[in-house]
Chain A
Amino acid sequence: MNRQNEGNHQIKATVLFYAILVGLFVNLSGCATTGDNKPEVEVNKLDPYEGFNRRVFGFNDSVDSYVAKPISDAYLYVTPKFVQTGVANFFTNLKNINVVLNDFLQAKFSQGAADTGRFAVNSTFGLVGLFDIAKELGLEQHEEDFDQTLAVWGVPPGSYLVLPFLGPSTTRGVPGAVFDTATNPTSYIGAPVQLISLLNTRANAEGSLKFINEAALDPYVFTREAFFQWRKNLAVDGKPEASIDSDLDNLLGDDDVSVRPEKVKSGVEMNNNHDTSNTDPTLKSKDEFGQVSESFGNVTESFKTTVKSFEKANNKLDSIKVK
């Protein structure tokens, strides 16, 4: 009984944490747009809060450089490879409870069954998940989370958000992360294990972060674009879809610019769906009050859209239940 209370308390705390984050975000985004008085070209559809996001990105980058990276580097240096693999396997295995839930929520029943088997095998024969025996048996690790489930249900990603400490997300990703945290046993084990989990996450990201650092001309834009595409690809389970073609055609559409200027406009409009580069929030020329109320309005608007999509998804689920 006591334990259950403790569990409820933890969930409440997690929800509260995200609520504070969202509140912080709403407040800061208002301030951020008022901070710079430079004129703006146009507001980007996917990243209307670029000014704010860039600040948080800079903050996260400093936290990473001065705190997370040194600790992670020390961890990678001190521990032998098999320990790192064991730790990574352990946390991946715990995450599989959430993966199974989301498999079923996305109606992927056979994958759900396979992932249940994966969790069962690794939790028992794999010594509480330290060894990935299931892989040897041909049971592949799937990547599913509640944000992907929402995508499958038709909820649009909403606006790009960079959350303090947590990194890239979207308005859809916030409720997604709340669900994932609530269904991950790591959230209930206790602070030391959670710290190791964070360390493991950072250590595993070392390769990607190093690559971004080396390859990106503008790490903020690089991360944002790659994040959107990566999430989209995960949501469709990496199936090559028609969008590859249309994405490329849109990009190539620009190539025709010099020949047929009238085509440019339509090409750019189409691009707006996934190309988030054409804006610069530091270039804005409205009065401060207007900016604050507008950016607040935008946030509420995108949350409203998300809530509406939730309702739609809920109705869909209800109709499935009736059947």
Chain B
Amino acid sequence: MLLKIIKCIISMIMLVMAVGSAIAEEEVATAKQVVDKFQVDLIDVMKNGKKLGYQGRYDRLAKSVADSHDLTKIARIVVGQEWEKLTEEQQLKFIDVFTRLSIASYAHNFKEYAGESFVFDTETETKRGGVVVHSHLNIPDDKPVKFEYQLKDKGKSWRIINIIANGVSDLAVKRSEYTSILQREGFDALVAIINEKIENYSKQ
């Protein structure tokens, strides 16, 4: 009898713990879950690419990108020290055009599906409390492309701040380009080039 009661209590405790941990998991999406969700969305948009059209893909991805990337932080990092030299109005304008460019480039580059699939490899922690999700994109009849997502904790959830494709860091390349243009040609020229790129993406 006593044994039965003990067994019952233990199973109750285990049940409570299981429910508790499930709730905790629901509250904060892990870095891996954020990347997974984004990749699932991307593949889905690719599969429906033709049907959706450019604007359809853009609208669908706008939410996915916003939910998974910290675009404000990325925008700040890519202009480096030049950020401090911009007026508040310019900073807001830059975040806006940068966000639209990021979504537009996804909408343009992920428009067709030919059996590609993302595969999760590993997850590592960085010294500064970030997480790197290592994954790769399998492409039929081609070499797989390695994708490393660097994420930072943003309040309640993780956000992508950099993507390294086959060893080439998107953030580092963009940062060099943006600071170079700001120094050589100034803010208005940079915004004009970005707007031109967005327009080109929407046309093709």
A interface list, Cβ under 8 A from B: 41, 211, 214-218, 221-222, 224-226, 229-230, 232-234, 238, 240, 244-245, 247-249, 251-252, 254-255, 257-258, 264, 268, 274-278, 280, 282
Contact = CB atoms under 8 A, between A and B. Distances in A.
Kindly list the 10 A-B residue pairs having the minimum CB-CB distance in the complex, ordered from nearest.
A233-B167, A277-B176, A225-B173, A277-B179, A245-B126, A277-B180, A229-B168, A225-B176, A218-B177, A221-B177
Contacts of A222: 173, 176-177
Given A225-B176, A247-B169, A214 B108 contact: yes
Interface of B: 73, 76-77, 80-81, 83-84, 105, 108-109, 124, 126-128, 130, 132, 134, 146, 148, 150, 152, 161-162, 164, 166-169, 171-173, 175-181, 183-184, 190, 193-194, 197, 200-201, 204
Nearest to B183: A280
A240 B173 contact: no
B181 A217 contact: yes
B16 to A, nearest CB: 39
A76 B69 CA distance: 38
Given A217-B194, A230-B166, A249 B180 contact: no
A248 B183 contact: no
B180 A240 contact: no
A248 B176 CA distance: 14
B164 to A, nearest CB: 7
Contacts of A248: 126, 128, 130, 150, 161-162, 169, 171
B148 A244 contact: yes
Contact of B73 (A230, A255, A268): A255
Contacts of B108: 214
A235 to B, nearest CB: 10
29 contacts: A214-B108, A214-B197, A214-B200, A215-B105, A215-B197, A217-B194, A221-B173, A229-B167, A233-B167, A238-B166, A240-B132, A244-B150, A245-B126, A248-B126, A248-B150, A248-B162, A251-B162, A251-B171, A252-B77, A252-B128, A254-B77, A255-B76, A274-B172, A275-B172, A275-B175, A277-B80, A277-B177, A277-B178, A278-B179
Contacts of A215: 105, 197
Nearest to B185: A218
B69 to A, nearest CB: 15
Contacts of B105: 215
A18 B180 CA distance: 31
Contacts of A254: 77, 80-81
A251 to B, nearest CB: 5
A257 B83 contact: yes
B168 to A, nearest CB: 5
Contacts of B200: 214
A217 B168 contact: no
Contacts of B134: 240
Contacts of A249: 126-128
Contacts of A277: 80, 175-180, 183
Contacts of B146: 238
Contacts of B132: 240, 244-245
B167 A264 contact: no
B175 A251 contact: yes
Nearest to A234: B167
B168 A264 contact: no
Given A221-B176, A245-B126, A226 B181 contact: no
Nearest to B196: A217
B83 A229 contact: no
B119 to A, nearest CB: 15
A242 to B, nearest CB: 9
A111 B77 CA distance: 39
B166 to A, nearest CB: 7
Contacts of A268: 81
Given A221-B176, A230-B166, A252-B128, A280 B184 contact: yes
Contacts of B164: 244
B130 to A, nearest CB: 7
Contacts of A224: 176
Contacts of B197: 214-215, 217
Contacts of B180: 218, 221, 277, 280
